[in-house]
Amino acid sequence: MIKIVNLYKSFGQNKVLQGVDLTIERGETLVIIGQSGSGKSVLVKHLIGIIKPDRGNIFVDGVEIVNLKEDELHKIRGKFGMLFQGAALFDSMTVAQNVSFGLERYTDYLPGKIQEVVEESLAKVGLKGVENLMPHELSGGMKKRVGLARAIAYWPEIILYDEPSTGIDPIRADAIINLIDRMKKELKVTSVIITHDMTSSYKVADRIAMLYGGKIIEIGTPEEIKRSENQVIQQFIHGQAEGPIENW
């Protein structure tokens, strides 16, 4: 279980998070929605200690991670896999080296087993025969899928997805959402998904949380979110230019 308590984070004068409280249950799929620049990625990066908060606490399976030393944080990070918004593949490495990177650090697998797992992980995201390609030889969508294969390769307990369906054609996007759903059902993986794609959100989410003004303003099941009386949520989920959310 992940518990975020009263989390604050500013970058200079820009107050990004202003008291976020959120609990993510084991095995659940939580979708975080919100405008671009509302701090969704910043919030998620706090969970693996990439960003330190100005104030507040984060507990992962009961362990308070904000003040952990780097070595202790390493153990916690092994529980997480993360798909980055732009895939963040290491561009000096081949696809296979990218996917095996976490396996080499978080498991004791021998090289033969690593190669096997790399192929399996790539097959799961619909990629075959790309092991020796460099990231610059891949399309945007393929990069994203390699990023996903890298995130799931070492069977993390919690997977963080930063806009998993952005930049991919609708069919592939749906396949990725199905994969996220399958991982949840088969492996009881906890998933935290950042997205603007409401169709995918309704399909995969157990709960949806909306981040607005640096806080979680509402959290509930997809049905509850659809029925919300909050005008901010209604404006966002229906993608309307007019409403309480400022456009610019």
Q: How many residues bind other proteins (CB under 8 A)?
A: 23
Considering only residues 58-77, where is the footprint of other proteins by CB under 8 A?
Answer: 70, 74, 77
Listed residue (233, 244, 218, 246) closest to 20, CA to CA: 218
Q: Which of 60, 62, 36, 33 is nearest to 46 (CA)?
A: 60
Token couple for 190? 């906890």
- 88 touches other proteins (CB under 8 A): yes
| Interface residue with other proteins, options 37, 86, 140, 244 (CB under 8 A) | 86
Residues in Cβ contact with 137 at an 8 Å cutoff, skipping those fewer than 6 apart: none
Piece of 86-94, 194-202, 204-212, 217-225 that binds other proteins (CB under 8 A): 86-94
Q: What Å distances lie between residue 234 and 195, 220, 246, CA to CA?
A: 16, 14, 14
Choice from 4, 33, 82, 192 touching other proteins (CB under 8 A): 82
Considering only 21-29, 78-86, 120-128, 204-212, which stretch makes contact with other proteins by CB under 8 A?
A: 78-86
- Residue 102-141 contact track with other proteins, rule CB under 8 A, x = bound: x--xx-----------------------------------
Applying CB under 8 A, does 150 fall inside the site for other proteins?
yes
Closest by Cα among 198, 189, 183 to 79: 189
Residue closest to 133 by CA, chosen among 142, 125, 141, 124: 142
Least Cβ distance, residue 140 to other proteins (angstroms)? 13
- The region of 47-55, 59-67, 112-120, 168-176 touching other proteins under the rule CB under 8 A is 47-55
Can you tell me whether residue 26 is helix, strand or coil? coil
The dihedrals phi and psi of 184, each to the nearest 5 degrees, come to: -65, -45
Task: Point out which span in 28-36, 101-109, 174-182, 240-248 binds other proteins (CB under 8 A).
Answer: 101-109
Q: How far is the CB of 225 from other proteins (least distance, A)?
A: 28
Q: Which of 49, 57, 60, 74 is nearest to 20 (CA)?
A: 57
Q: What whole-number distance in Å separates Cα of residue 128 and Cα of residue 148?
A: 14
Residue 244 within binding range of other proteins, rule CB under 8 A: no
Nearest-approach distance from CB 232 to other proteins, in angstroms: 28
Residues binding other proteins (CB under 8 A): 45, 48-50, 70, 74, 77-78, 80-82, 84-86, 88-91, 101-102, 105-106, 150
